[in-house]
Amino acid sequence: MTKSPSDVKILATGLTVTSEVDPYFRKLYGTPDQIKAKIDADIENIRAAGFHVELKYVSDASPQAMTESVEWLRNRLRTEKFDGVMIGTGLRLVPEQTALWEEVVNVFIQESPKSVFMFNDGPGRNYWALQRNKERLGITTEY
């Protein structure tokens, strides 16, 4: 089936921008405010292209916050079908987030196994990941 961006629903997730990370990552990607601005602009570009996108930050502020974030993802995926799921760089590249990263990936595999899995290469790069995966999402129109 041929789809246009307006037919595609995406769930994007990433580490809360205020999480403690190694100074190397702050130098590479910016301050929390700079990162949030990049992500917000990126999500607006995705919406402007016609996609339905929902963004959920995963919090690592406490074990309870992590559990609540993961459970939110699990429940959301149980109640709605998403054509694609995205996992941000903060969860994948920060070594301290490895266990949380594994948990998020496993939730996506268990609850949305037919979704296209996509990964950005930094804050503000989800639109790029969508462009890279448009054929896998079944999109044949330009956007």
Tens-digit pLDDT profile for residues 37-53: 999 999 999 999 999 99
Give residue 135's pLDDT. Answer: 94
Place of tokens 């890279």: 132
What is the rounded CA–CA span in Å between residue 102 and residue 111?
14
Identity of the amino acid at 82: F
What is the rounded CA–CA span in Å between residue 56 and residue 81?
15
Evaluate if residue 1 carries a pLDDT over 70: no
| Residues 81-108 pLDDT 10s | 999 999 999 888 888 889 999 999 999 9
Evaluate if residue 138 carries a pLDDT over 80: yes
Phi, psi of 51 (to 5 degrees): -75, 150
Give residue 12's pLDDT. Answer: 97
Structure pTM?
0.92
Report yes or no: 52 and 128 within 8 Å, Cβ to Cβ: no
What is the rounded CA–CA span in Å between residue 41 and residue 36?
9
Higher pLDDT, 56 or 28: 56
Higher pLDDT, 46 or 60: 46
| Residues 118-128 pLDDT 10s | 999 999 999 99
The domains found in the chain, sorted by start residue, are 5-132 (3.40.50)
Q: Which run of H or of E encompasses 11?
A: strand 9-15
